[in-house]
Chain A
Amino acid sequence: MLENGNTIGEPKDGILKKQGEKMTIGIPRALLYYRYQYLWKTFFTRLGCNVVISAPTSQNMLARGIALSVGECCLPVKIFMGHVASLLGRCDYILIPRFETLGKGEEFCVRFWGLPDIVHNTFPDAPILSYNLQDHKRGSEMQGFWQIGLRLGKSPAQTVAAYRRGVQEQLRQDCLVREKQELLLAASGLKVLFAAQSYLIHDGYVGAPLIRMIEEQGGVPVFADRCDPMTCRASAKTLSQDLYWTVNKEIIGAIPLTKKEVDGVLLITAFPCGTDSLVNELVLRRVRDIPIAQIVLDEQQGESGLQTRMECFMDILSERRRSHA
C-alpha cells in the first residue's frame, strides 16, 4: 500500500546507476529540521551517505517558495518549499517525512500530514525519501527508518545501529542546549521567553532578527523549545485541557514552567498558522500574571515595525522589574 514508506517516490532514472557511489541525501533546513536535525544527520552519515543541508533561508529562497505554493499557505510552508526547490538536482534523495502523531492525544498540525503530497504534486520529479510517523500500530519512527534503510540498500543491522546512534546524538544535543538554557535562566538580566515554533524562531531569515533585537535591547532570549519536552507537555495541561497538538503543547507548556524565572513572554506566530491561531488566543486569555505579547510574522514585514514593538515590550519589562524591586 501507498501508506508505507518503502514504496513511495520510487527512485528516478540515474539514481540506480550510482549504486556503487556514495548516495547524497538532501535535508531542507525548514520545519521539523530544527527538531530532528541531529537524528537525521547522524543516521544518514552512519549509513555512509553524504548529507546536504539547504542553505539558511534567504530573501531569494523565500521568494521562490512563495511563487511555488498556494497563496494561502502559512509562511513556514512557503519557506519549506523554497528550501526543497534549492535542493533539487543537488542530491539523490530529499528527505521529506510525514508526521502524523506520537500516540494517543498527540498530533502534529495537519500541515505536516500533507508535506510529502504537497511536494510531490508541486515537483512531480522530485526524488522523495519519506517516513511516516504514526502510532506504534501503524508505523513508529523505528519502522520508518528501517524502511528508509532498506530502500537505500543497507542491511537491517546497519540501519538499526545508525538509527540508535541518531537517537542518542539527538538526545545528547537536546540535553546540551537545555543545560545552556538552564544557565541563562539562572542569570540576571531581562529574560524573554520566546514561545514559538522552533522552525520559526530559529530560522535565519524570519526569526533571527527578533532575537537580535531583544539582545540589542539588553534582553536575554530563552526558548520554549529548549525546555524539557515531556515536562512541558505535562504542564501544558494546566493551561489547556483539550490541546492535542504536540508541538503547541511543548511551546505553551514552557510558559507556566518558566514563569518564575522569566520577565516576559513573546508569542511568535506566522500568518496564517492554523494551530497557533487558536492556541495563542487561549494563552493570551488565560495567562494573566506575566507580560505577554503576540507577534505575527508574515512575508511582507518591514523590520522597523517589529523594532518598535520590541522596544516597547522591553521598556515595559524593565519598568515592571524596577517597580517590583
Chain B
Amino acid sequence: MPDQLAISFPHMGEYSIVFTQLMGHLFPTARVFPAPPMTQKTVELGSRYSPDFVCSPFKYNLGNYIEALEQGANVLFQTGMGCRYGYYGELQEQILRDLGYQFQFLCLSRERAQALALYRSARELGCTLPLTQMLSALLLACESIRAMDRYEYWMREEMGFQSTPGSCEAVRKQLFEEIAQAHSLQDLQRAKNRCRQAAAAIRTDKPPNPLRVGIVGELYTLMEPSSNFFVEQQLAKEGISVSRVMGVWFLLFGKNHRQALKNSGPYLWHTVGANGVDSVSQSLAYAKKGYDGIIHMKSFGCIPELNATPALMNLSRDWNIPILHLSFDSHTSETGVQTRLEAFADMIRMKREEGDVANSQFGRGYRLGIHQGRGGG
C-alpha cells in the first residue's frame, strides 16, 4: 500500500462533487480529487487506447483515468451495471496496467455493487469510521444527489427564459459549492434553502405556452454535457424549455422496469436492456403531455437504445411528435450537432405555428391527448 491514498474517479456531469464529498468523509486522511476536467485531450487519450467500436463512455472514462493517474492518483473507482458498462472495469484496468501505471483499481460492478461488498472494500481501503458514520455519509451523498437533480430539473425548464443570462447558472454554481462543503444534513438543508430563495428571485419572461422538448436516451451521454456538446444549453438558447427525468437519482432509485414496461404501451413487450424501456415510456409520457419534440441521445452503437429505436420511430409516427435521434462518438463534430439542433428547433417551431393556425381556423385541437400540464417526473 502507498503511504497516502490518492483517490480519483472519472467524470459524469457535475456529480463528481458528491463523490468527492463522500470519499472525503469516508477517508479523511486521503487526498480525494476528481479526474482533471474533460477536454479534447482527454477524449483523444481515451480513444487512442480504447478498442475501436466500443461505446464512447468507455473512451471518456479511460481518458479521465489516464489524466488522473498522471496527477498522482493511486486508487481508481469504477462501477458497472446494465449492458456493456458492467464489463468496463476489467478491460480498463488491463489497459491501464499495460500502459505501465501502478494503482489500485476498485471495480464495484454488478455483484460487487451490493451493500456488504461495498462495506468490505471501504474497510480494506482503510476506512476506520464506525458504521453509523459511514451510513450517514452515504445518506448525505444521496440527499445531495437529490438536491442537485431537483435544481437541475427546474433549471433546464427555465434556463431558456431567464431575463439576465447566467443567473440560473450562478445559483447552480453556488448550490454545488455548498454541497461540496456540506458536512451534515443540516448544512445541506441550509444550502437547499438558500438555493430555493435565490432561484425564486431569478426573473424570467416565460411565455404561457413555450416550446417544450423532452430528452431521453442513454444515461452517460445525457448526463455528461461535454459528451453531448451541451445540447441542453443550445436548446435553452433557442428559447426551448427542456425536460429530462434521467439523472443519477433516477438511475439509483427511480428505475422501475415493470412500471416502465406498462407505461410503454403497445411499443415494447419486454425490457430491452439498461434504460431502453425508460426511454420509450418517458417518450410516450412526453407525447401524451403534448410536448413539441423529443431528443433521443445515445453513444454510437449503444445496444439497449438501438433496441428501443424502432419503437420510438413508431411512437413518433403514431403520436405525430418529432424525435431527433442523436448518436455521439468521440469523432462526432460539434457543428454537425449544432446544425441538426437548429434545424430541429426551427422545425418544431414551424410545426407549432402551423398547428396554431389550424386550430384557430377549425376551432378544435386535432392532436390527441393535449393537456398542458407541467411536465415530467
Contact = CB atoms under 8 A, between A and B. Distances in A.
Interface of A: 2-3, 8, 70, 72-74, 98, 105, 109-111, 113-114, 116-118, 120-122, 124, 132, 240-245, 271-275, 277-282, 285-286, 296
Given A272-B301, A275-B84, A278-B51, A117 B310 contact: yes
A197 B306 CA distance: 20
B174 interface: no
A322 B83 CA distance: 44
B267 A121 contact: yes
B91 A3 contact: no
A241 B110 CA distance: 13
B98 interface: yes
A116 B269 contact: yes
B239 interface: no
Contacts of A277: 51-54, 84, 301
14 contacts: A2-B270, A72-B306, A98-B270, A110-B84, A110-B273, A114-B306, A121-B314, A241-B90, A242-B86, A243-B87, A277-B51, A279-B87, A280-B51, A282-B91
Contacts of A110: 82-84, 272-274, 303-304, 307
Residue from A72, A116, A285 with most neighbouring chain B CB atoms (10 Å): A72
Contact of B306 (A3, A73, A124, A286): A73
B86 A244 contact: yes
Given A98-B270, A117-B311, 17 more contacts: A2-B270, A110-B273, A110-B274, A110-B303, A110-B304, A113-B270, A117-B268, A117-B272, A120-B269, A242-B89, A242-B107, A242-B110, A272-B301, A275-B84, A277-B51, A281-B51, A282-B91
B162 interface: no
B91 A244 contact: no
Contacts of A280: 51
A72 B91 contact: no
Contact of A278 (B82, B84, B107, B272): B84
A73 B111 CA distance: 29
Given A109-B303, A271-B53, A282 B94 contact: yes
A124 B83 contact: no
Contacts of A272: 53, 300-301
Contacts of A3: 261, 269-270
Nearest to B109: A242
Would you call the interface of chain B mostly helix, strand, loop, or mixed?
helix
A72 B304 CA distance: 12
A278 B85 CA distance: 10
Interface residues of B, number: 45
Contact of B98 (A74, A121, A285): A285
Contacts of B271: 113
Given A110-B303, A116-B269, A121 B310 contact: yes
Interface string B310-325: 1101100000000000
Contact of B87 (A8, A244, A273): A244
Contacts of B86: 242, 244
B294 to A, nearest CB: 16
Nearest to A282: B91
B53 A285 contact: no
Interface string B50-65: 0111110010000000
B303 A286 contact: no
Given A121-B267, A285-B98, A114 B272 contact: yes
Nearest to A115: B307
Contacts of B358: none
B226 interface: no
A109 B53 CA distance: 16
Most chain-B Cβ atoms within 10 A of its Cβ — which of A8, A98, A243, A277? A277
Interface string B230-268: 000000000000000000000000000000010000011
Contacts of B54: 277-278, 281
B110 A244 contact: yes
Nearest to A110: B273
Nearest to B309: A70
Contacts of A116: 269-270
B87 A117 contact: no
Nearest to B88: A278
B189 interface: no
A43 B276 CA distance: 32
Interface in B263-306: 267-274, 276, 300-301, 303-304, 306
List the 3 shortest-distance A-B pairs measured between CB atoms, nearest first: A114-B307, A110-B273, A121-B310
Nearest to A240: B90
A286 B97 CA distance: 12
A8 B306 CA distance: 21
A118 B53 CA distance: 22
Contacts of B311: 117, 121
A267 to B, nearest CB: 12
B270 A274 contact: no
A132 B270 contact: yes
A120 B311 CA distance: 9
Contacts of B52: 277, 296
Contacts of A118: 307, 310
B308 interface: yes
Contacts of A275: 84, 87
B60 to A, nearest CB: 15
A110 B272 CA distance: 7
B327 interface: yes
Nearest to A298: B53
A285 B268 CA distance: 39
> B52, B269, B272, B306 — which one has the most chain A CB atoms within 10 A of its CB?
B269
A296 to B, nearest CB: 8
A282 B50 CA distance: 11
Given A2-B270, A113-B270, A114-B273, A274 B303 contact: yes
Contacts of B117: none
Contacts of B273: 110, 113-114
Contact of B313 (A109, A121, A241, A286): A121
B289 to A, nearest CB: 22
